[in-house]
Amino acid sequence: MNSKLLFILGLIALTNAASVANVNAAKTYQLIRGFGGINLPDWGVDLTDAQRVTAFTNCDGCLGFTVLRVYVSDDSNAWKKSVAVAKYAQQQGATVFATPWNPPASMCENFSSGGRSGKRLRYDKYGDYLNHLNKFLDYMKSQGVNIYAISIQNEPDYGQEWTWWTSQECVNFLANYADKIKTKVISPETFQYNKQYYNDILDNAKANSNTDIFATHFYGTQRSQMDFPRLENGLYPRELWMTEVYVPNSDHDADLWPEAVDVAVNIHNALVVGGMNAYVWWYIRRSYGPMKENGQISKRGYMMAQFSKYVRPGAVRVDATEFPANNVYVSAYKNADGTLVIVAINNSNDSYAQQFTVSGKTIKTVNRYRTSSFENLALTKNLALTGNGFWAQLNSQTVSTFVVS
C-alpha cells in the first residue's frame, strides 16, 4: 500500500469523512468584480500611506482589495478628502465607486408622512441634484480619479440620519434624470435588500434601462433573503453588488474567534445564494473591520482575504457541491489566468477529511492557505493528488482556500 493512500486512510480514521465535494470548472455563474470597503475621511477615518498598501495591494501581509467605495459629500469643498486614497487604489487596479448620503441642504426639505419624518430631496430640485452628482464626477476626474459608477442614494429606506427616498421617488429620478449622469448608475443601496425598491425599478422601463448596477446592503439580511431570481435569472442582465455590511456586530473586537468565521460565511452566501458580483465591507479600518486601528489585518480581515487575495477581478464562479457536510460551505471560482480557487469554510465543531474532485480542468498542483484561531493564511504547498482531485483536512472552525493550477 503506497504512502499517499496510507495518509488518506489515516485522515479518514482520525476525523469524520464528508461527502465528496465536486467542482465543475466548465459550469459557470456570475463574474466576480472584487472585494473591498469604504474609506471615509469625512467621518474621521482615513487610511495612512502604509494602510493603503495593506488594503489595495496583493503582497504578503496585504488584503488584496480591488474595490473602493468613496463618499459623495453634500459639501463640494470636502471632495478633496477622498482623492488621495481613491487615486492610489485606482493605480493598483481597483474599481472606485461613489455613494451620496445627502444632497446639499439647499435642495432638501423636511417632511412627515406615513409614520416617517425627516428630510428628502425637493421634487423641484432633481435637476440640481443631477448637476451635483456630475460636478463630483468632474472634480474627481480632474484629480485623476475616474469613478466607475455612482449610486443615487445610501439606504433610502432607512434615512434616520440622512435623506429618505420612497421607492417611487427613486424610480422617478432614475427614469427622468439618470440617463444624464456621466458614469454608470447604481441603484439606491437599500439597508436590508428591500426588494420593493428593485421591483419598482424593474417595473418602470425607463428607470430600468437607466440603471446599470443593482446594489444593496446586507444589514440583518438572512441567507434566505439574499436570493432575488428576478435579477439573477438572465432577464435583466445587470451586475449585483453588496456594497455595505459588517458582520456579525460592531461592538466586538475583530479578532474574536470563531466569531470571525461569520464573515466568511456571509461572503459565501452573498456570492453563492445572492449571486453578487462584488462584496464591499463598511469601514476598511475600524476595531470591528478588516483592518484594525493600528493598521494590522484582523481575523475578520483574513476571512475577507481568503477570498480577495485569490479570487481576482474577472474571475467567474463555477459549480461546486455547496454542503459536503453539516456547516461546511464550499464555493469555487475560475480566474482569468486559468487557476481554479476553492474556498472551504468549516463552521462546525467537527473536523472532516474532505475529498475534492475537479472536472473541466486538469490539476497539476494544489496549494492551500488556511486561517484558524492560530493561523493566518498559512500555506501548505503541493497537496497530494488523487486522480483529478485531492483530499484535505478541514479542521473545525477554519477557512481554507485551495489554489489549483
Q: Are strands 340-346 and 328-334 parallel, antiparallel or unpaired?
A: antiparallel
- What single-letter DSSP state applies at residue 217? E
CA distance linking residue 220 with residue 399, whole number of Å: 23
Catalytic choice (239, 244, 259, 293): 244
CA distance linking residue 85 with residue 269, whole number of Å: 29
CB atoms < 10 A from the CB of 95, how many?
A: 21
Positive or negative, the CA dihedral 297, 299, 300, 303 is positive
Catalytic residue list contains 244: yes
Q: How many residues does the chain have?
A: 405
Catalytic residue list contains 155: yes
Residue 250: partners with Cβ closer than 8 Å, 6 or more residues away: 286, 288
CA distance linking residue 190 with residue 120, whole number of Å: 16
CA distance linking residue 153 with residue 59, whole number of Å: 34
Catalytic choice (155, 169, 189, 232): 155
Residue 262: partners with Cβ closer than 8 Å, 6 or more residues away: 247, 248, 347
Cell of 320: 461546486
Helix, strand, or coil (residue 277):
coil
Give yes or no for a contact between 25 and 361, defined as CB atoms under 8 angstroms apart: yes
- What single-letter DSSP state applies at residue 175? H
Positive or negative, the CA dihedral 275, 389, 262, 41 is negative
Give yes or no for a contact between 3 and 10, defined as CB atoms under 8 angstroms apart: no
Q: Read off the amino acid at residue 207.
A: A
Which residues belong to the active site? 155, 244
